[in-house]
Amino acid sequence: MQRRRRTGTIAVASALGMTAVLGGCGLTGSSGEVTLKLVAADYGNSTQNSSQKYWDKLARKYESKHEGVKIDVDVYSWNDVDNKVRKMVDAGDPPDMAQIGAYSDYAAKGLLYSADDLLSIPTQADFVSQLARAGEVRGVQYGLPFAASTRVLFYNKSLFSRAGLDAPKTWNELAADAGTLKAAGVKFPYALPLGPEEAQAETMQWLLSGGGGYTAAGGSYAIDSQQNVDTFTWLKNDLVGKGLTGPVAPGKLNRATAFAAFAAGDVGMLNGHPSLMKMAAEKGVKYGMVPMPGADGPSEVSMGVADWMAAFRKNGHADQIGDFLDFVYDKKNVLDFSREYDLLPVTTSASQVMSGAKQDAALKPFLDELPVSELPPVGQTSWGQVSADIKQRIGRAVAPGSSPTSVLNQLQATASSAQLAE
């Protein structure tokens, strides 16, 4: 296989990964065996479809054809995985590879290998171009897209039909529908997950629908823009303040819990990505999907999300890492992962297969939206810190007695300081 020329010290194998060989020294053992440590996020919603099972199967398949290389994988929930990797990095003991939510701050510190350092030319060229560009820091790709999705509004068709409702197209229609659902006895008319699991995504979807976003045209953060303040003021007053959300307060509600409540038939509406389709169908919930409502009509911009694979320079063995990642991004493996978790593939070859396959027809609306979607500012080295701050604070913007303006001002101050430090 054709591979790009690598320069400098080619590396990446973790001290943790070497425990099976030399008791934690971070070097290749006397037998010549290399153990690569991978920390990954869990996309499953039960022990039956945990991503640990996916990675263990993939690792064993790779090992069976690559004598002398072992892949040691630890999978953590999205609540924990980014913090887990950060603590490992801060302790000077990063994993060889991390499949996480943000990469750019590590790249800015010189801790990561670029795509050029690791991947073969065919693998690198196969990434969906928009996602590859989003993986760049100062024009160099360090973030390897691993999974992608877009967001649409899901609604429970049965609950809407009983209440005599059509899917909303505007915020006011959404709030009115939620009020009607509540009067009809629906437990939770709208689920607004602003808890620490993925609040940055729910937030961005709402900001875009209000004509705002995380950044201004020049790339500087604009979290406290008037459009964003107006959006969260509306959410606080017209949705949360009227008791139309649940199952718990938005700041305590995580995506997984919101999805589970929708699949149980208890939620009327929520923003969702493709994996919710399977969850709802398995529970017998009839659902519809429409573009996210906006202030004056359907939102013209959908939100795209990508999760990332990053490779750390710390301990060596980049040849082995690059070879393993070429295997990870093989078309069949990308398709298997995407289909297992109802996510969008990050490679052109897999996307083309899914676009034309009957078994993937339900995903086509999401695939069609991806090229025109807007991603968070993941290429900014401050994004990891800013995203973490949003996850922790944004729920307060809609809490009783709070001021959306004050919360967004605080987030903006942190973001501006982080951006200046880049």
Confidence of residue 315 (pLDDT cuts 50, 70, 90): confident
What local confidence, expressed as pLDDT, does residue 7 receive?
Answer: 34
The 3 state secondary structure assigned to the chain is: CCECCCCCCCCCCCCCCCHHHHCCCCCCCCCCCEEEEEEEECCCCCHHHCHHHHHHHHHHHHHHHCCCEEEEEEEECCCCHHHHHHHHHHCCCCCCEEEECCCHHHHHCCCECCHHHHCEHHHHHCECHHHHHHCEECCEECCEEEEEEECEEEEEHHHHHHCCCCCCCEHHHHHHHHHHHHHCCCCEEECCCCCCCCHHHHHHHHHHHCCCCCECCCCCECCCCHHHHHHHHHHHHHHHCCCCECCCCHHHCCHHHHHHHHHCCCEEEEEECCHHHHHHHHCCCCEEEECCEECCCECCCCEEEEEEEEEECCCCCHHHHHHHHHHHCCHHHHHHHHHHHCCECCEHHHHHHHHHCHHHHHHHHHHHHHHHCECCCCCCCCHHHHHHHHHHHHHHHHCCCCCHHHHHHHHHHHHHHHHHCC
What local confidence, expressed as pLDDT, does residue 116 receive?
Answer: 96
What local confidence, expressed as pLDDT, does residue 378 receive?
Answer: 85
Residue 331 has pLDDT above 90, yes or no: yes
Residue 89 has pLDDT above 80, yes or no: yes
pTM for this model (two decimals): 0.74
Residue 27 has pLDDT above 80, yes or no: no
* pLDDT 10s digits, 248-301: 999 999 999 999 999 999 999 999 988 899 889 999 999 999 989 999 999 888
Of 23 and 87, which is predicted with more confidence?
87
What local confidence, expressed as pLDDT, does residue 25 receive?
Answer: 33
Residue 5 has pLDDT above 70, yes or no: no
Residue 119 has pLDDT above 90, yes or no: yes
* pLDDT 10s digits, 157-196: 999 999 999 999 999 999 999 999 999 999 999 999 999 9
Residue 202 has pLDDT above 70, yes or no: yes
Residues 1-15, mean pLDDT to the nearest whole number: 34
